[in-house]
Structure 1
């Protein structure tokens, strides 16, 4: 049974990697998956701002974040929906 689970996981990972390789460098902000999250660096590139700007928005609460507790430093991840809401709130209609 464990071999079947491992094989299924490997298949899913291969499919995900193949999909990511086909995408342009900056992925769309469309919420294709509510679980998708961006690093500070990726969010800054997507918004065309500095990483310091993104960190400041995290600290002032404008951008919610998820914290990865790995390694010696906290690594922030920004949920795709929060990023989309931030963009919508700054967009002039």
Structure 2
């Protein structure tokens, strides 16, 4: 359920490629934090990737999410680059309504 919600959130228009990367990173962290303790990461990452790939061509933030999943599966012992978004005002609800 959390994966579907995360993917839904990532399917938004973004104002720049940098913002898409930021949203993809935040989506990955949300998904990761929501994993149950008793599941294997590789299996869940493959499942998430399988679901997300359908939206990868049309949504840049989903593409960034998929890239993080692939990198984590390809190099499981390497630290991922998970830069947090820079703190700045983005226009709040008014700006979000304009993007829809």
TM-score normalized by structure 1? 0.26
Structure 2 length-normalised TM: 0.25
- Give 1 or 2: higher strand fraction: 1
Return the structure number with greater helix share. 2
